[in-house]
Structure 1
Amino acid sequence: MKNILEQEILMALGCTEPIAVALCAATAYNIIGGEKIKSVICLANSNIIKNATSVYIPNTDGLYGMKSAVAAGIISNEPELKMELLKNLNSEKVKKIKFLLEKEIIKVSPYKTDKSIYIDVTVKTENGVGQCIVENSHSNISLIRKNDEIVYSKEKTEEKIGSFLDYSILNLESIYNYINTVHISELDIIKKSIEVNKEICNEGLKGNYGLSVAKDLEKNSFSELFNSNALNNAIKNTVAGTDARMAGCNLPAMSNSGSGNQGIATTMPVVAYGESRNICEEKLIRGAALSNLVTIYIKTNLGRLSSLCGAVNASAGSSCGIVYLNDGTVEQMEKAINNVIGNIAGMFCDGAKAGCGLKVATGTFVSVLSAHRALEGSGINSTDGIVGKNIDETLENYGRISKYGLKELDNILLDIMVKK
């Protein structure tokens, strides 16, 4: 399970979809080089375009959108940095990005595919043509072409998350047993995740980012409404990171299953809740590790990107982490997951944006509420809605909705967004 955690919990600077676009563009340009960029064509599936349309890109002086992501990747020209490739942008490079955008030579078009992630960037310069394709995961480069030469190619890439690892070992019982028996030194990736995500969440509380949802939660009226330090702290200290990321903060986050917001919303509710209850550091790390593994377990039923909001998966994972901090059982964790999914499973993703902070706030509230209802023995019955007779059946039902029930949703959402 250590390998699964290290595969799925990665450092990411900025929203992962525009960063994936930037990585693809940087790789395409880097392979061909040249001083004069003549044209750039970017093809991407609806999930990518939807999530890159409204979110700000870090270190770009407030730029946002697909074309800005493409331009930022080309000017950064550091594909070796993967999901942190924009960290070295400076004012001079931002001027070059804006100049490239003003030339209006970047064209973006939707690409129809069943893959949840697909990006194809072709860059033409005086040296010829460079092409890169990223598919199935945010940093999974499947093809690099220089003129007529295929420099790099993966003959077949799997849609399945972490296809070279055995994710079938994941279930609540195995996760719970692993968390209780693994030596704490094996969970260094979780300790790092807590440190990194706390830093960007603290920044979100200090600055005026996005809708400033977290800062509003610090006001007395909200504190009185929630009437619980643990709940209020869990929400505001989680949402702060989302506020900051969606507004283009230049601090990284530790992602979960390819999503920075999901990484924050999986880890921080457990950490903030536990710190409010004076839980010791080792138990906090174990609780956060359990939360991350449960989120990965749920995500394997949905695919890398889904029409459903990732805050739901993170809320279910963090709810289990909170149950763990309260010395709860596997059975209570099952109830917590059912409570979350039975409540907010229908929350769809209409792109990365400032409003994601409100969705994360909703999810974190539901996470804490669901955990405490489960600890009291209360869970949604299998006779209700999509909740199944056991947790695997619930997740199978949830996955069916994501994979088959919402096939047209992304197209409709994208149509609405591009016509604004």
Structure 2
Amino acid sequence: MITHDDITKMLEMEMQPALGCTGPTAYALAAARCKPFLTADVNLMNIYVSPAFLKIGFGVATPGTTEPGIGIAAAIGLLGGDYTLGMEVLKPCTPQNIQKAQLMVDEGRVQIFSDGEETGVYVRAEVITNNETVITILSGKHDGIISVSVNGQEMFHNEDSLKEIEQDEVFLTPDIIFDYISHVDTKELQFLLDGYKMNLALAEDGLKNEFGLHSGRAYLRSTFQKNKVPADLFEQPLKYLPVTLDKKVQILVSAASDARMGGSSYPAMAAMGDGNQGITAILPVGLAAESYNSSKEEMIRALALSCLMLFFVKIHIGRSAAFCMCAIAASAGATAGICYLKGLDEKAIRGAVKNSISPLAGMLCDGAKNGCALKMSIASMTALNAVELAESGIEVGYFDGVADNTLEETVNCITDIANKSMDLLDELMVNSILLKEERKRKKCKTI
């Protein structure tokens, strides 16, 4: 049975800073883990990924560059990454590392393969020199290095920590979460406030600079009449944020995604290995706490509730899914956290979470990309609307599609659909990516 201390440990382990999108970060980490065993120049690096992870790296930039793709992320990790930093593996990378990595990719010394036999989070980096072949396998978690071998001899093996975490997670339920939130000493969870500040700084970077889709900047600019846009709007963006919570959430959540997907060097506080989910679960709750003049203790409890409700949903569906987990899991968290700040009881919170995840259940995860900002904006706005409806006693139920009488039954229904459709949906989405790439190559040949 999961204990109070187990839950605190889970929060500490699963809420961690991550530099860049955790898809490219995982490729970089796997490649960087090979580096200590290399004794000669690299001839070739092969990166094998599950279909789910192929789509994750296709359209998102690696920090320090606007270049999207799996190859460049892995090459930068190999040449400049430090695997001991985990999800911040790319922190020590320099412009020179990035330049050399780009050359390595341009020379065709990085090859990407989809391994159809693997599912979920899976990366295998194979680095070949004249002296050795080093293989690192990352599985289950975005920082879950489980094996390193050199010339066929395994030098490192560790799957125990992941299994231990998963065993604890199985027992996490809404009842246990609510009890924990009521009794936890908030001094144990100060790092969640740091996570809020971290994601807010990332959002500010997304407003100051033209990262990704520029959606946060567009939302901010739209709050002013065309001829009354301040000259220093994007130099001091936080100064010009609107007063209304919904617009403020939309701007900052979108901007944080713009920055993270577009190559910002600012980290995000990630949730269960995903920075966008951490942004969507944390920023709306922190902004709501400030808007409602909540106490520091109330804010911490609300942030913890948001994270744990995200965990509850994601544990069922899995760490990698064909459905957008910002829409399903992170919106569930944001909804619960905001409800807590508004003083809603447990029954209302459960109803609000159902109101949030039910209409978003069919949103596909078609990879990490600049357009994630749009989905995160929708998820955040839906969370706010779900809270508003729950305040009026409105709750979807048995006759409302994937929704059911209870939150647990609703999550079970969505989980069943997500798990049974995942392989097919991932295959179709990966095929669409490959067709786009083939079309691009054919077009280049005709020019």
Same fold (TM over 0.5): yes
Structure 2 match to 1:410: 426
Alignment of 1:15-414 (within 5 A): 15-34=21-40, 36-59=41-64, 61-154=65-158, 162-164=165-167, 166-221=168-223, 229-312=244-327, 313-414=329-430
Structure 2 match to 1:5: 11
Partner Cα distance (2:411, 2:267) in 1 = 30
How far apart are 1:75 and its partner, in Å? Answer: 0.5
The one-letter code of the counterpart of 2:312 is Y
Conserved? CA contact 1:179–1:286, under 8 Å: yes
How far apart are 1:114 and its partner, in Å? Answer: 4.7
Structure 1 residues 77, 88: CA separation in 2 closer, same or farther (over 3 Å shift)? closer
Conserved? CA contact 2:81–2:93, under 8 Å: no
> Structure 1 stretches of 5 or more lacking a match?
none
SS in 1 for 2:319: coil
Structure 1 residues 47, 114: CA separation in 2 closer, same or farther (over 3 Å shift)? same
Partner Cα distance (1:53, 1:33) in 2 = 31
SS in 2 for 1:381: coil
Conserved? CA contact 2:81–2:92, under 8 Å: no
How far apart are 1:32 and its partner, in Å? Answer: 2.5
Conserved? CA contact 2:199–2:283, under 8 Å: yes
Conserved? CA contact 1:291–1:318, under 8 Å: yes
Conserved? CA contact 1:233–1:276, under 8 Å: no
Conserved? CA contact 2:51–2:118, under 8 Å: no
Partner Cα distance (1:123, 1:5) in 2 = 34
CA-atom RMSD in angstroms: 1.9
Once the two structures are aligned, what percentage of the paired residues are identical?
Answer: 28
TM-score where L is the length of structure 2: 0.88
TM-score where L is the length of structure 1: 0.94
Partner Cα distance (2:19, 2:81) in 1 = 15
How far apart are 1:222 and its partner, in Å? Answer: 8.3
The one-letter code of the counterpart of 2:400 is D
Partner Cα distance (1:327, 1:169) in 2 = 26
> Structure 2 stretches of 5 or more lacking a match?
1-6, 226-241, 437-447
State the Cα deviation string for residues 270-303 of structure 1 (Å, max 9, x = none): 1112212222222112111110110011111111
SS in 1 for 2:395: coil
State the Cα deviation string for residues 178-222 of structure 1 (Å, max 9, x = none): 222211201122122112111111211222222221122223558
Structure 1 match to 2:239: none
SS in 2 for 1:263: helix
State the Cα deviation string for residues 313-369 of structure 1 (Å, max 9, x = none): 111110111110000011111111111122111001111111100000100000000
The one-letter code of the counterpart of 2:288 is Y
Structure 1 residues 273, 157: CA separation in 2 closer, same or farther (over 3 Å shift)? closer
Count residues with an aligned counterpart: 413
